Chains A and B, each alone.
Chain A
Amino acid sequence: MTKPAAPIAINNAIENVLRHDRGRLIAGLTTRLHDLQLAEDALQDALISAMSHWGRSGLPHSPVGWLMKVGLNKGIDRVRKGQSETRKADDLMIVSAKHAERLDDEPIPDERLRLIFACCHPVLEEKSRVALTLRTVCYLTTREIAAAFLDNDVAIGQRISRAKAKLKEAGVAFEIPDQEVWPARLDAVLSTLYLIYTVGYVSEDESDRDLAAEAMFLLRLLDRLRSDDPEIEGALALVLLTEARRKARIGTDGATVPPEAQDRSLWDTHMIREGQEILAQAVERGRPGPYQIKAAIADCHMSRPKPDWQQISLLYGSLWVHEPTPVVALNWAVVMAELGKTDLAVQKIEALGTTLKDFQPYYAAYASVLGQAGRTNESRAAYERAIELAQNSSSRRFLEKKLQQENN
């Protein structure tokens, strides 16, 4: 009996390679082909070739190396077929011949840093950066991304295509940014990854792909690929110190629990220690920045026996220098109220009223501080407004509980 090809088994093997290495493959191909869409098409062609080649001879010694080499050739084929200016294809050929030789025995260089910086390029809208990074680097399907953002997958698919086209139009090079633009470009990357994290953190449904885990993966990857940047370390520490409390975030009644009231036995002490160690290492580099400060604030929230509000207030003062935003001012005011300066806190918050109109956390903070100042009626009204604006059931429940306390 002839040995039948086992297409599903081969497909599963390919899937397995992709799950671990698709980001690296796309990064490597994009760096050489200079076009993200072309790299993806080329990889797709290589995968179809893999189906039939691997179907006969089994998995090659280095599946990633095989796919990189074949993908590069497929990409060049596509350029040749698609355009009359053969020069470009010839240029790529020279590059690829050198690379193809190397790919056989040498470990494949990890080019994902370039890819992450391209996906999070400031020419793209924030939401596009998020979608493109999740699709390209983390290998989520458009459906999975859409589910996380409560959007439909056609819209997300279009957003991703437009983002790729935009990178091409804008001539974005797949390079690691130079020293002088590094801080601004890194900030775009970190804010994108942090946004991915928070979407995962507040998500209430159990989806297949946990965005918080994807964000931690990306930050760890970033830290590994560029191991001497204190802000990358700061962002990773911030996420670890937040994630460590995730299990305690929502109480048995389904309401959000603020860190100071959480059941500490639910905290992941291992993760806290890791976050603290990474933060300490970052601080030693002597180049402070907003992510390091935010991580330190998260850490002080977990001080025993209660949050170190004095220290947190000082940290907000430092954060203000880097990020003089209304949101920082709002959080700072809440800390002042914890330190007993309730009147000052009310004043500070009221000064923000026009800029933060319709911002749910504004009313939640305002209500809480008014309550602490003994201004019960106004506090109740602010809670009611906050409840109206609440985005999810756990924070709504928390606010309802607080409102009830004010009523009693």
Chain B
Amino acid sequence: MKYMLLIYNNPEQQPQYGTPEFEAMMGGFFAANEKMKADGVLVDGESLNEPDTATSVRVKAGKTETMDGPFAETREYLGGYYIVDVPDLDTAVTYAEMIPSAAFGTIEVRALMDYNPAG
């Protein structure tokens, strides 16, 4: 079963470059990535550009409206994701715990829908 680990955090609360916390965070990401790779569960993972670079698009009555900025004004934004292929939710959660952002943000674990109407 594939799960997406969505990484939400408040950019203001992320450790800043030059601090020991920053080093620990980057090292933690490296370690998490290595572990997922060594366990053969890593399918994909990407970082997203900053939320203020987002463009939100809506089509209303056939007319396209674009808006600079993210869809919703919140504190925590989607900053990146991993997709892991693991047997169950519990295992997916153990990988979510390894992501350093879990300490100052939130990792949302969502299963990719396995749509099989016949099954």
Residues in A lying within 8 Å of B, measured CB to CB: 1-12, 14-15, 47-48, 51-52, 55-56, 141-144
- A136 CB, min distance to chain B CBs, angstroms: 15
B90 contacts A by Cβ under 8 Å: no
Q: What secondary structure prevails in chain A residues at the interface with B? A: helix
Do A7 and B26 form a contact, CB below 8 Å, given A1-B52, A2-B11, A12-B45? yes
Interface residue from B33, B47, B51, B81 paired with A6 (Cβ < 8 Å): B47
How far is A48 from B38 in the complex, measured between Cα atoms in Å? 17
Do A51 and B27 form a contact, CB below 8 Å, given A1-B11, A12-B45, A143-B38? yes
How far is A144 from B37 in the complex, measured between Cα atoms in Å? 10
Contacts of B38 in A (CB 8 A): 141-143
Q: Which residue of B lies closest to A47 (CB)?
A: B30
Contact (Cβ within 8 A) B46 A9: yes
- B69 CB, min distance to chain A CBs, angstroms: 11
Interface residues of B, count at CB 8 A: 32
Contacts of B11 in A (CB 8 A): 1-2, 4
Contacts of A144 in B (CB 8 A): 40
Contact (Cβ within 8 A) B80 A8: yes
B68 contacts A by Cβ under 8 Å: no
How far is A10 from B22 in the complex, measured between Cα atoms in Å? 14
Give 13 A-B contacts (CB < 8 Å), ordered by A residue. Answer: A3-B50, A6-B49, A7-B100, A8-B82, A11-B30, A11-B33, A12-B46, A48-B30, A51-B27, A52-B17, A141-B38, A142-B38, A144-B40
- A138 CB, min distance to chain B CBs, angstroms: 15
B16 contacts A by Cβ under 8 Å: yes
Contact (Cβ within 8 A) B12 A9: no
- A323 CB, min distance to chain B CBs, angstroms: 39
Among A7, A9, A11, max chain B CB count under 10 A is at A7
How far is A405 from B104 in the complex, measured between Cα atoms in Å? 71
Among A6, A56, A141, max chain B CB count under 10 A is at A6
Contact (Cβ within 8 A) A2 B16: yes
How far is A6 from B77 in the complex, measured between Cα atoms in Å? 13
Q: Per-position contact with A for B7-50: 1 when CB-CB < 8 Å, else 0?
A: 10101101011000011011101100100011110000111111
How far is A1 from B70 in the complex, measured between Cα atoms in Å? 13
Interface residue from B9, B17, B39, B81 paired with A143 (Cβ < 8 Å): B39
Contact (Cβ within 8 A) A7 B29: yes
Contact (Cβ within 8 A) A5 B45: no
Contacts of A9 in B (CB 8 A): 46-47, 80
Q: Which residue of B lies closest to A57 (CB)?
A: B17
